[in-house]
Chain A
């Protein structure tokens, strides 16, 4: 399973765009990249998932370069409610179920 490395913490201000980069040098051909968000006293929540290039949904964008050795989660115009821990996970989801390894995550603090 590919190991991921991401910053321990980040600070931002309301209204700014936040980019969290995750390094996964040993990513395998069948691996997908997934990001989860976790608020205190809650379970993680799926944000976005991708394999290559760019994926966008209603809450975030995921940028994956051609070599796939890193990925960047982009949160546009963050608000105080985006203060949470963000996890980058890499794993093979092609078989039923899939196994994902959570790292330590990035603790994002959004200030007014």
Chain B
């Protein structure tokens, strides 16, 4: 099956500019996540969607970050305006629950953002 797709893979912008990332989860996965991973750290959850509703956005800097998941499938994450500390890899993941209660998140390759 096709994995989680993300684009672009790399993006370089200047501070105060805006940027958007796109994610296409695995077909049939109801839950979608956006993570921010700063170099040398583990991924940090920014927002979690269940279908097209937000389950958790407690760590999303809402003054500059926004995310949406239209029709419960694709999702976009936007940063406006960007700051130097936003330089990181932005990971998208999706998940479903199988019959055996195993719960696994499938991650995309990420978008590496550099803010100069």
Contact partners of A43 in chain B: CB under 8 A: 4, 91, 93, 107-110
**Contact between A97 and B31, CB atoms less than 8 A apart:** yes
Counting chain A CB atoms within 10 Å of each CB, the highest count among B35, B43, B109 belongs to B43
Contact partners of A105 in chain B: CB under 8 A: 42
Contact partners of B31 in chain A: CB under 8 A: 96-98
Dominant SS among interface residues on chain B = strand
Q: For the complex, what is the distance from the CA of A87 to the CA of B91, rounded to whole Å?
A: 15
A24 CB, min distance to chain B CBs, angstroms: 15
Interface band, chain B:
20 to 34
**Residue on B with the closest CB to A44?**
B107
Residue in B30, B104, B105 whose CB lies within 8 Å of A96: B30
Binds A, one of B12-20, B70-78, B79-87, B94-102: B94-102
B48 at the A interface (CB under 8 A): yes
Residue in B40, B44, B48, B102 whose CB lies within 8 Å of A49: B102
**Contact between A97 and B42, CB atoms less than 8 A apart:** no
Interface string of A56-99 (1 = CB under 8 A from B): 00000000000000000000000000000001000001001111
The 7 lowest CB-CB distance pairs between A and B, nearest first, are: A43-B107, A102-B42, A93-B103, A97-B31, A46-B104, A102-B43, A43-B91
Q: State the A residues within 8 Å of B (CB).
A: 32, 34, 36, 41-46, 49, 87, 93, 96-105
